[in-house]
């Protein structure tokens, strides 16, 4: 069981490494509970751009829901709102 958990964590880390710096920022803000509009304001970009980046994050992390993405971030020990 421990070995399987380590393998899963390794896979998650590999997926996280595929994210661009901006996608990592968006991931941190999304899992902290911010809305796309708030994230766009924070990052000085448009809401549409945030939606696209959020979609890239979901696809690259292979998350089927926001809840699953939050669990992944917790496993990776990402602090909420990490930029």
Tokens of 4: 């399987």
**From residue 60, how far is each of 1, 2, 63 by CA, in Å?**
25, 25, 8
How do residues 21-35 score in pLDDT, each as one tens digit?
999 999 999 999 999
Return the closest-CA partner of residue 58 out of 21, 81, 31, 39.
31
Note if the pTM is more than 0.85.
Answer: yes
List, for residues 51-75, the tens digit of each pLDDT value.
999 999 999 999 999 999 999 999 9
């Amino acid at each position: 069981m421990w070995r399987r958990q380590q393998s899963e964590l390794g896979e998650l880390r590999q997926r996280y490494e595929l994210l661009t710096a901006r996608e990592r920022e968006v991931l941190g803000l999304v899992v902290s509970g911010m809305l796309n509009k708030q994230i766009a304001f924070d990052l000085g970009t448009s809401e549409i751009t945030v939606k696209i980046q959020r979609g890239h994050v979901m696809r690259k992390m292979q998350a089927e829901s926001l809840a699953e993405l939050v669990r992944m971030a917790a496993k990776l020990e990402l602090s909420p709102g990490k930029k």
